Amino acid sequence: MTEQVKCAVCGKVTTKQVAFQVYHQGKPFYTCGSGCREQFMLNPSRFTQAAATSPTAGSKTSTTPQAPKAQTTSAPPPSSKPQPKKKP
């Protein structure tokens, strides 16, 4: 049985083997996809408070490799909100 984790950004429950693991201040957080990972990395403190109070579901037995890990940086916030991508 694989461990399930909750996305720190949108709250979606996914398996640990497909989630993106992101570190902030030395602690691991999980996101369900690259879009949520990008949002987390833009403003990690916005999501770490909510993720710290939300329990994860499932058991803790997993023998599969982990998703790539990303480090957050302490870059200054962008001067304006990111614009949504335009559809072709």
pLDDT of residue 70 exceeding 90? no
Calpha distance 49→69 (Å, rounded): 20
Cβ 42 vs Cβ 49: under 8 Å? no
6 burial via Cβ count (<10 Å: 0-12, 13-18, 19+): buried
Residue linked to tokens 């030395």? 26
**pLDDT at position 49, please?**
77
Q: What percent of the chain has pLDDT over 90?
A: 44
pLDDT in tens, 28-59: 999 999 999 999 999 999 998 755 555 544 33
Structure tokens at 30: 């999980």
**pLDDT at position 88, please?**
66
Mean pLDDT for 11-22 is 92
